[in-house]
Structure 1
Amino acid sequence: MKIRSQQPNDENAIAKLFHKVFSDSEGEQEGKLIGQLATEMIATTEAQDLYGFVAIEEVQIVGAIFFSRLTFETENNVFILSPVAVDTEHQSQGIGQSLIRHGLAELKNQGVRFAITYGDPAFYSKVGFHSIATTELAPPYSLSQPEGWLGQSLTDDPIGMIPGHSVCVKALDNPVYW
């Protein structure tokens, strides 16, 4: 398996991957929603606000992940991991964790201070994420499962409190994702 940065000609394969993976696990409606999110993430997010990575086995994209900027009133060096998908037939092989670790290392190399995600604490704790209070670091929208608000510092500084509300990129700016 090889991990590399997402390239413009990957867009269709990435959208199909997200559609298939989320359809398999959550149903066709969720598959369409997250497939469209991946398409919009690529199409509407400025290059400096998006990092995308793919896992390739032979010539097939078997995993994909995006990190996009999350801006606060006093901090704009925060990125949120969302979405991530690994082809159903390639799951439980460590591909998702490898993608996340690769992405976090790239963010750190680029000087990003903090990485945030909204997901399963049991999974994301395996790659260094820990629970953070929404009162210390406010998500863009109210969370249906606040225990899934997670973060990690990519520097020696703890995350701590970041005052004010947060703003996500246009593609994620929809309460349905929160």
Structure 2
Amino acid sequence: MNNAARRKAFDTVMRSLDFDKLLPERVFIGEWTHFLFFESDRIFESGFMDAMCQLLRLEHAKVACLLNVDKTEVFELENVAALFLDEAVFGKEYGDELRAGGPADAWLYRVDRYACASDVGEWCIYCEKSNDIAVVGLRSADGIKKFEAPLQHLWARPIEDLMDGGCSPLFPFDHLVPAWREGLVSNYRNGG
């Protein structure tokens, strides 16, 4: 795997998110204009690699960095707790990586924060497993159409749609406490 591409993917993660903030605050920094939410568990299923490969292909990226924010003590490429994902990583291999370390230490079982971005950087995913929420940020409205297939695979939807209709059968976004509802809607309203 290309080391320069790995570094670019890691740098995209680092430039895109403020790790001192938590949802419902706006964790994305920089030019992110559109946001779609989905259940965090989708990241930890083997099918996530299908969506990841589609994202990488659609933006002509080489690799994505999936960073375990809470398990990383020093945010330097050589010391981070990260998986680097490309089209050569298959669902089973990805699942094996998530289970590495057993129940005490495996990412699959840990309730941590995660971030993911590619070396191109047209999208970025932030996940708080403790809150069962993940959000994908896009650089422009064009990304919604461009990445339509992988976003549908993740069941990613604008927060307004999830709040109004509660269309998610697994996570009742329409039943969040008022402070969370207001925070998510004000910080992740699309177009702003």
Q: For the superposition of Structure 1 and Structure 2, which TM-score range results when normalised by the shorter chain? A: 0.3 to 0.5
Tell me the TM-score normalized by structure 1: 0.35
Q: Which has the higher contact order (CA 8 A, sep 6+)?
A: 2
Tell me the TM-score normalized by structure 2: 0.33
More strand by share: 1
